[in-house]
Structure formats: C-alpha cells, structure tokens
Amino acid sequence: MKILVAETISEKGIEVLINAGASVDVNTKLSREQLLGIIGDYDAIIVRSVTKVNEEFYQKATKLKVVGRAGNGVDNIDMEGATKRGIIVVNTPESNVVSAAEHTIGLLLASCRNIPQAHARLQERVWDRSNLKGVELLNKTVGIVGLGRIGSLVATRLKAFGMNVIAYDPYISDARFKKFGVEKREKLEDLIKESDFITVHTPKTEETMGMIGKDQFKIAKKGVRVVNCARGGIIDEQALVEALKEKIVASAGIDVLVDEPNPTSPLLDLSNVVVTPHLGADTVEAQDNVGVTVAQEVISALKGEMVPNA
Ligand code: NAD
Ligand code: MLT
C-alpha cells in the first residue's frame, strides 16, 4: 500500500498508516506539476482542501484506488471522475465540526468587537479606542443559512448569548429546526431582511455559490454583520466588498476565500473585515480526530473492508 500524504495531517494519523504496514510519503510542498509527475506511483492520496483532485489529476493517477479527504467538504474532489474509475473517496464529516463552529463564533465576536484591529493598534504602542466601538449579541437576530452539522452547533452556542436564532435550510425537516429551538424561515429573502448577523454553513454547490450577493445586500438591514466559515464565494466576495465599503455590511468575519490559498481577495484590503486563512478546523483536537479517522478509512478502503464515510 503506497500512500501519498499531500497536505498536512496529524502525526497520530501518520502513525495509523505506518502501523498498518503502508509505505507512506509525506510531501506537503509539492507543486502541481510535481504532484502530477509522481501520483502515478501511488495507491492512495490524502488531501485537505487545497489539492484539486480533478480530471487532469485522475489521468495521471493510474494506480489510484483511494482518495482520503482529511476533512469535511469534498468540493475539491471530482466525485464523478472517481466513481467512473472505481476510485473510493473517503472523508471525515464529523471530525472537525465543533472546531469549525467555535471558529465561527470567534470570527463573529472578533469582527463585531474589532478585536484584531484593536490588538494591532496596541501592538504599535498606540492606546486609541476611537472607531472601535462594537455591538452586543444579546437580543439580536442571527440568521443561519444551512442548519446541518456545523450550523446547528453554531445555533446552540449563539442561543447561549441570548440571540434570537432563525435559519433557512429547505432540505431538512421541521423537526430539526424544533430540535435546536431555531425558527424556520421558508425563504432566504425573509432571513436576510430580519437578520442583524448572518452566518453561512452550506456546502459549496452551484446553488449555494453567491447565494448571498448584490440582491441580498440590497434588502439586508443596514449595518448587518456577516460570517463565512464554510466556503469562499458562498457570500459573493465582490458584492461583499461593495457592501462593506457602503457600510451596508458593518463587519465581516471570513475564514474562507474564493482563490485559496492565494491571498488575492479584495476583502483583504478592508479594515472592517477580520480574516483567517481557513483555520476553522485547525485545532489540536480536530486535527487528531481528522488525521486518525482518515488514515483508518484509507487503510480499510485499500484492504477492501467496509468504510463508514465512503
Ligand atoms: P452539512 O452537510 O452537515 O450541512 C449543510 C447544510 O446545508 C445541510 O443541512 C443542507 O441541507 C444545507 N443546504 C444545502 N444547500 C442549501 C441551500 N441552497 N440553502 C440552504 N441550506 C442548504 O455540512 P457541515 O458539516 O455543517 O459543513 C458546512 C460547511 O462548512 C461546508 O461548506 C463545509 O465544507 C464547511 N467547513 C468548513 C470548515 C473550515 O475549516 N472553515 C471546516 C469544516 C467544514
Ligand atoms: C473541511 O472541509 O473539513 C475544512 O474546510 C477544513 C479543512 O479542509 O481542513
């Protein structure tokens, strides 16, 4: 079993692979050309969100049997291409959801209280509290778009702040809204009009890309605050930039960008944006969970055993 680990996973995950008798190459600094040059030697690859496992990749990956996605979203994997070739794709959908939910809350608080901006000022030895006034969460309405694993964890946590939590998710039962004590909105439009804060937790699909954009900012409350800890572009970046400049959106907390991992987003130039480089799942706990789970799944798949998240 020859396995290429092409993006960083935890040491515990690597140990699982080695203990199973696999020959493991950890090479997280390969250029695209280098990756395509060597992938033909491997039975399995483990990636996170940066590596594009697409048609070009599959054409070179002639021995590949398994793709391990060390994380949740599989939007960087061409699933149809894998299925067509009998390649098994495994992921770890549960392993990092608490970390992603906690990071969402962190971004929400950091952006609505200007914490990084204040920190930067003080590190410059400037004691200046002007233009840093924030807002409270208590009694405000937060609109959650996508009440799945992470959206529901965010809902539970924000209720503890005394927020009124509403959500839009046309694909789940009313019982799920009830279970988390969240008010359902049938239309995205209604959620947008009512929310003081909006946070998106959908997968990246054709339907969700840009689902919050120019038209939605036109009907949003002036001074709404937004968070995207899901996938770059679910909140349209250019529309968000305009809305932030016009102060329709007062602040944004952003973990994910369209052009990852390149720091090219126009959001990076704005002072009312708090941004992190896709750190939602970067905790000790989540990475241990993800690393071990994906390693076990890849080994099971290579051995032809049952795999829970295939
Ligand atoms: P999930 O599949 O459990 O939940 C997604 C929810 O979105 C589902 O309930 C689904 O019904 C809903 N949905 C789908 N299309 C929708 C639409 N058009 N409108 C409204 N709702 C819609 O996914 P999850 O595990 O909660 O992950 C949510 C997002 O977070 C994904 O994009 C995932 O890739 C991302 N994620 C990011 C990080 C990070 O590091 N920033 C970490 C983990 C996951
Ligand atoms: C995920 O989908 O799990 C996250 O985006 C985190 C990651 O890719 O590491």
Residue 92 CA to residue 99 CA, distance in Å, equals 13
Which residues does 103 contact at the CB level (< 8 Å), separation at least 6? Answer: 229, 255, 276, 279, 280, 281
Instruction: Spot the catalytic one: 185, 231, 237, 297.
Output: 231
List, as one string, the DSSP characters of 159-205: HTTT-EEEEE-TTS-HHHHHHTT-EE-SSHHHHHHH-SEEEE-----
Structure tokens, 244:
């932030």
Compute the distance between CA of residue 249 and CA of residue 118 in angstroms, rounded to an integer.
20
- pLDDT at residue 309 tops 90: no
How many Å lie between the centroid of ligand 2 and the Cα of residue 8? 12
In degrees and rounded to multiples of 5, residue 47 shows phi and psi of -130, 165
- The number of the ligand 2 atom at minimal distance from the alpha carbon of 92 is 3
Please name the residue whose Cα sits nearest to atom 8 of ligand 2.
49
User: What mean pLDDT is predicted for residues 74-85?
Assistant: 97
Q: Is 103 annotated in the active site?
A: no
CA–centroid distance, residue 63 to ligand 1 (Å): 32
Catalytic residue among 113, 185, 201, 278: 278
Phi, psi (5° rounding) for residue 217? Answer: -65, -25
CB 2 within 8 A of CB 22: yes
In this structure, are residues 213 and 236 in contact, taking their beta carbons and an 8 Å threshold? yes
Q: What is the pLDDT of residue 83?
A: 97
How much is the average pLDDT of 165-192?
A: 98
Q: In the Cβ-directed half-sphere of 100, how many Cα atoms lie within 13 Å?
A: 26
Q: What DSSP element (H or E) covers 101?
A: helix 97-112
- What pTM value is reported for the model? 0.96
Is residue 4's pLDDT more than 90? yes
DSSP characters for 15-56? HHHHHTT-EEEE-----HHHHHHHGGG-SEEEE-SSS-BSHH
State yes or no: pLDDT of 101 exceeds 90: yes
Question: Averaged over 55-64, what is the pLDDT?
Answer: 98
Task: Decide if 260 is catalytic.
Answer: yes
**Pocket residues for ligand 1 (CB within 6 Å)?**
72-73, 93, 96-97, 100, 145-151, 168-172, 201-204, 207-208, 229-231, 255-256, 278, 280-281
What number is the ipTM of this complex? 0.99
* Cα-to-centroid distance, 299 and ligand 1 (Å): 27
Q: Which atom of ligand 1 is nearest to the CA of 176?
A: 9
Atom of ligand 1 nearest to the CA of 281: 40
81 lines ligand 2 (CB under 6 A): no
- CB-based contact 278:255 (threshold 8 Å): yes
Confidence of residue 208 (pLDDT cuts 50, 70, 90): very high
Q: What is the DSSP string of 54-95?
A: SHHHHHH-TT--EEEESSS--TTB-HHHHHHHT-EEEE-TTT
Asked if residue 111 has its Cβ within 6 Å of ligand 2, the reply is no
Instruction: For residue 278, indicate whether it is catalytic.
Output: yes
Give the mutation target among 8, 96, 97 for probing the ligand 2 site: most ligand atoms within 8 A of CB.
96
pLDDT computed for residue 230 by the predictor: 98
Question: Is 261:239 a contact under the CB 8 Å cutoff?
Answer: no
In 3D, which of 187, 185, 196, 190 has the Cα closest to residue 248?
196
Nearest CA to 227 among 259, 209, 201, 265?
Answer: 201
